[in-house]
Amino acid sequence: MSARESLLIHSPHRHWLLAGSSSFQVPAHWRPWLYDSGSLSQRLQRAAGGEFSVRVLSECWQYPSADEARALGISPRRRALIREVELLGRNAEPWVFARTVIPATTLTGVERRLLRLGSRSLGSYLFRDPSLERAPLRACRLQDSGGQHYWARRSVFRLHHKPLLVCEVFLPAMEHVQYPL
């Protein structure tokens, strides 16, 4: 994980608002990316003409941030499997930085399969599970230490009523990627 992505995710000055909220103006280009409740991986595959892949940056047991724990409804002192990846588009260009926080209690039963995703996208697993429930998307405009702004979204998913949090940060290369219909 680069220092930039870490700063983006852990910035204390972020305000996650319901996607579509009138509290901030989202440029037209970003709206479909931020508000689509379907599989982002599937959309990216289409936008990349099939040239889509996942680069795993890290996957280890850590403590979630207080903000992440609050979103999941767990104690920040509970360790979770934290997976950080880049979703790559054409020419292996990083389009999205994604961070998934999976509480240990979620990784029981069939959800143990989440431990073996490897370089497969999480979406390829989640959106095939008939028990999938998704909380409303929340969006945020993040800023790194250099003043660069990024749009991000996150939501809590539930598999068999067990939660996991997915945060997706759209990187600068995405500004030129057309949303596929």
139 pLDDT above the threshold of 80: yes
pTM: predicted TM-score of the whole model, two decimal places = 0.91
181 in a structural domain: no
80 in a structural domain: yes
Residue ranges of the binding site: 83, 122, 168
Residue ranges of the binding site for substrate: 83, 122, 168
C-alpha distances in angstroms, 84 versus 6, 28, 61, 112, 122? 10, 27, 12, 18, 11
> CATH no. for residue 148?
3.40.1410.10
**In this predicted structure, what is the pLDDT of residue 14?**
67
**In this predicted structure, what is the pLDDT of residue 3?**
47
Structural domains of the chain, count:
1
**In this predicted structure, what is the pLDDT of residue 8?**
54
Q: Which residues contact 111 (CB under 8 A, 6 or more apart)?
A: 159, 160, 162
167 in a structural domain: yes
